């Protein structure tokens, strides 16, 4: 018998990872604006993603719609428990999107306002996403089929720290994306900024990796009991190797490998999150099967998804292929 819950969990995980990767470096550019005051270079930074940024958030919509249809209990509980950070995330994304377009159309005197709006929207959206992930990992109390906690449960040290951690992760993604897409002075500025960001992210990953097992006995057992200890040991080892590889690549003035290694680092961090919570979709107690909709509903949705997902992947690949290569100072997409 086909386990549709596992298939849908894999689809939602895939959509979430695609969103983190693609909209991550997009948001990261806004996070890096405060480190570069040059107006011309800021235009170049934005122009590296101007042709493709709209499509990046398709994966967020797919993941949210999949969660709603395949795991309605999880959707209801998460929306209730994390209503404030999720609303803040949407406001940040909307504000950032408006600022993204308006900064190119504004008169010179208004450009600074829209630049600040672009920064604020990027920070709010990224921080809120990190808080939501941290609150989910920290656990959401459920009684029966209802959220049993407070709307302010996310306002705790661990979720807030995860919010800061995601800001650093997206900033590194944006930084290495710009290393890959730019030349000359902007390329050198981003190369100088990348190593401190790698070190900061490595420290944050280390703190979270120690914090979660100390705070949650089930996560500690998952990671440190045998044979899991040996099965999962490659994850932290590969994190260290990827971080070392990014620093080495920057020192030898590589263009593509810092970004590719950062993608690998993000994937490993996401894998660690999955290992910690599986098979729960609402930690610490609600599994994917307990939160699932009827198999008939999941099967019906799966037919449409198997048609839509290849189309999204094809469009995404084609758009990035068409706009491949380095961005030029005189290039513009507005």
Residue 244 forms part of a structural domain: yes
Count of structural domains within the chain:
1
Q: Which residues of the chain have pLDDT under 70?
A: 1, 106, 329-334
Residue 333 forms part of a structural domain: no
DSSP state of 34: G
Residue 132 forms part of a structural domain: yes
Residue 148 forms part of a structural domain: yes
pLDDT at position 120 is 92
pLDDT at position 331 is 61
Give just the sign of the alpha carbon dihedral 330, 249, 244, 251: negative
Which residue in 298, 297, 290, 282 sits closest to 4, CA to CA? Answer: 298
Burial (CB < 10 A; 0-12, 13-18, 19+), residue 118, is buried
Q: Find out whether 127 and 263 touch, Cβ atoms under 8 Å.
A: no
Structural domain of residue 80, as residue ranges?
A: 2-321
Q: Please state, in angstroms and rounded to a whole number, the distance separating the CA atoms of residues 181 and 51.
A: 13
- 108-112 LR contacts (CB < 8 Å, sep 24+): 111/39
Residue 232 forms part of a structural domain: yes
Residue 69 forms part of a structural domain: yes
Alpha helices in 107-233 (DSSP H): 108-138, 157-181, 184-215, 217-224, 228-232
Which residue in 207, 292, 205 sits closest to 242, CA to CA? Answer: 205
Residue 315 forms part of a structural domain: yes
pLDDT tens digit string along 25-59? 888 998 998 888 877 888 888 888 877 777 777 88
Q: Model's pTM, two decimal places?
A: 0.91
CB atoms within 10 A of CB 63: 19
Residue 128 forms part of a structural domain: yes
């Amino acid at each position: 018998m086909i386990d549709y819950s596992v298939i849908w969990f894999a689809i939602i995980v895939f959509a979430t990872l695609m969103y983190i990767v693609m909209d991550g470096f997009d948001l990261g550019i806004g996070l890096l604006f405060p480190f570069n005051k040059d107006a011309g270079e800021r235009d170049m930074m934005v122009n590296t993603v101007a042709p493709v940024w709209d499509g990046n958030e398709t994966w967020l919509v797919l993941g949210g719609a999949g969660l709603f249809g395949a795991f309605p209990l999880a959707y209801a509980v998460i929306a209730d428990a994390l209503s404030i950070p999720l609303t803040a995330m949407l406001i940040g994304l909307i504000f950032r999107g408006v600022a993204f377009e308006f900064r190119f159309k504004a008169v010179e005197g208004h450009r600074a306002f829209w630049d600040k709006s672009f920064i604020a929207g990027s920070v709010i959206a990224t921080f809120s996403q990190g808080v939501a992930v941290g609150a989910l990992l920290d656990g959401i109390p459920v009684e029966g089929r209802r959220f049993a906690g407070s709307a302010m449960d996310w306002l705790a040290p661990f979720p807030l720290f995860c919010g800061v951690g995601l800001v650093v992760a997206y900033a590194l993604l944006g930084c290495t994306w710009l290393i890959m897409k730019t030349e000359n002075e902007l390329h050198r500025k981003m190369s100088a900024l990348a190593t401190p960001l790698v070190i900061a992210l490595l420290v944050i990953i280390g703190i979270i990796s120690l914090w979660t097992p100390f705070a949650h006995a089930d996560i500690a057992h998952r990671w440190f009991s045998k044979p899991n200890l040996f099965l999962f040991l490659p994850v932290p080892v590969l994190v260290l190797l990827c971080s070392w590889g990014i620093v080495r690549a920057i020192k030898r003035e590589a263009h593509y490998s810092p970004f590719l290694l950062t993608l690998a680092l993000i994937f490993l961090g996401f894998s660690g999150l999955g290992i910690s919570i599986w098979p729960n979709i609402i930690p610490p107690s609600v599994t994917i099967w307990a939160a699932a909709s009827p198999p008939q509903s999941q099967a019906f949705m799966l037919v449409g998804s198997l048609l839509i997902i290849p189309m999204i992947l094809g469009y995404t690949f084609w758009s990035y292929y068409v706009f491949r290569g380095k961005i030029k100072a005189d290039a513009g997409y507005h």
